[in-house]
Structures are given as C-alpha cells and as structure tokens.
Amino acid sequence: MVKLKINLFINFESTYIASIKNKLLLSSNSLQTKYRKQISKYEREGFYKILFSRRDVRSHFIKKDIPLTTILRIINAAHHAPSVGYSQPWNFILIKEEQTRMKIKNSFLREHQKAIRLLENNKAKQNKYKSLKLEGILESNLNLCVTYDYTRFAPFIIGKTSIPETGIYSVCCAIQNLWLAARAEEIGMGWVSIISNRELKKILEIPKYIKPIAYLCLGYVSEFSQTPDLEKSKWLKRLALNEIIYLEKWGNQVRKNG
C-alpha cells in the first residue's frame, strides 16, 4: 500500500515536466490569447452550473484514483488565484500516506469531542451535532494541506502595507479556485476545520513561521448533494439575499416591498 503510493509519487516526479509543459503552463501562456475572447452564454452557464453545484463533501467518496495531471490541473487553478501584490503566498502539501492521515484523524476526533462538550447544556442540539458526518480524511483519495507563508517576497508587498491579513485572504481565494476546479473535474472536496493547527504543524513538519489555512479532502464521489448537507439536515438554512445586501452604507437594507 505504502509502496504503491511511493510509486505514485515517483510517477508524479517523472511525469512532472511533461505535464507542466504540455498542459499547465499552456493555460497561462499561449492559451491566454484564446482566453482574451469574450465569454459565451454557454460558457457562462457552464460556469454557474459548476459554481452552484459545488458542495462541501464529507461522504460519497468512491475508490478511484485522481490522475496526477488532474491533481496538478486543480492546483494550477488555485495558483492562478489573485494574491495581494502578486505575492502567491501559498503552498500545497499533498498527503496520500495512511499513517499521516490516521494522525490527522485522531486530531479531528479530539477536537470533535471538545466541540460536543460545548453543547452539554443542549442535548437535542448535541445529539444532532453528533449525528453529522464532518470529515472524509481516510475515505477520500487525497488530502491536501494549504498553507500561508507571510515571508514570501517580503518585506514590501504591494497592497499589504495597510492590511497585513490580505496575505491570508489570498490563500483563501486560492482555496476557492481549487474547490471550483475540483468540482469542474467531478471531484468532491471537503474542508476539515475541526482540527488542531498545532498538531497539524507537528504531523506535517510545518515550520513555525508558516500558518496552515486549510486541511482538505478530495476524491471522486458517487454524487454531489442537491443542497448543502447542513441545509438538508435542517441545521441552518440559506439566508435571503435581501438580508445580506445593504445600499450605500451599513444597515440600509433593500425593502422587500419597494
């Protein structure tokens, strides 16, 4: 099993140049000429189809390997996210090894227990919370840790001089690109945030100055849910647009009967 995975990465390394040169850089160089063209109605509709059918996936993972070129394609999509001052402050750690995943899963289990204890005074809510499936660390085909490096191209980063947090915001934009690209490739993705970043850093040997932003689980799925899991389980529902839009200043809400 471990052997197979090592082979996968040897394979990864040897196919690296070919895949990069033939499929990836293409998208940011020569294909750009094509990309300057207008977006057609069909392209726009396809885009919205991908955007609206993206889900935070924790189940329905099937046993099917993600080809390496596909992995690189979605990471390349992430890498084409906007970043403050073009600082590209992200790294992506690909995790296949089961031993590593078990350690991460144990961290999840500990943090999950802590969360359960927070609901001690609301047994109904606590039971509902306990019934929810909140991660797919072991069942998914690939785990991916996305990190933030505040030293990248430092010290002077354009646009980061007034609001330093924008570096982290860039990494989140990359994660959303990655999420949508995964959906475009029929790959489900879930974000596991019930986890200890301190433990995560130790397990993945992440240095002190690097901040883990997301721990993601990816894999092909048997289906994408029609509605978000937490809506389906009646935990919360989607807000109406008029509840979140203001005009000209905070609190100036759109009247429903205008």
Which one of 142, 183, 220, 221 is in contact with a copy of itself (CB under 8 A)?
A: 183
C-alpha of 181 from chain center: 10
Residue 72: CB partners within 8 Å, gap ≥ 6? 19, 20, 23, 24
Nearer to a copy of itself, 66 or 184 (CB): 184
| Contact (Cβ atoms closer than 8 angstroms) between residue 62 and residue 219 | yes
One residue of 69, 111, 139, 150 binding a copy of itself per CB under 8 A: 111
Longest dimension (CA), the chain: 65
Does position 204 interact with a copy of itself (CB under 8 A)? The reply is yes
Binding of a copy of itself at residue 216 (CB under 8 A)?
Answer: no
- Return the ∠ at Cα 235 (arms to 60 and 47), rounded to 5°: 55
User: Which residue of 7, 22, 39, 64 would you call a contact of a copy of itself, by CB under 8 A?
Assistant: 39
First to last CA, the chain: 63
Q: Residues 6 or more apart from 245 whose CB is under 8 A from it? A: 253, 254
CB of 137 to a copy of itself, least distance (A): 14
Distance (Å, whole) CA 147 – CA 92 = 7
Count, residues near a copy of itself per rule CB under 8 A: 129
Near a copy of itself in 44-73, by CB under 8 A: 44-54, 56, 72
At its nearest, how many Å lie between a copy of itself and the CB of residue 50?
Answer: 5
Asked if residue 113 binds a copy of itself (CB under 8 A), the reply is: no
Are the C-beta atoms of 152 and 87 separated by less than 8 Å? yes
User: Which residue in the set 64, 114, 130, 133 belongs to the binding site for a copy of itself (CB under 8 A)?
Assistant: 114
Half-sphere exposure of 153 (CA within 13 A, CB side): 14
Residue 80 identity (one-letter amino acid): H
Six token digits for residue 192: 């596991």
Choice from 7, 22, 35, 67 touching a copy of itself (CB under 8 A): 35
**Does 91 help bind a copy of itself (rule: CB under 8 A)?**
yes
CA 243 to mean position of chain CA atoms: 26
Binds a copy of itself by CB under 8 A, chosen from 93, 103, 106, 150: 93
Pattern 142-161, a copy of itself, x by CB under 8 A: -----x-----x--x-xxxx
- If one asks whether residue 31 binds a copy of itself (CB under 8 A), the answer comes out as yes
User: Nearest distance from residue 126's CB to a copy of itself, in Å?
Assistant: 10
Nearer to a copy of itself, 63 or 155 (CB): 155
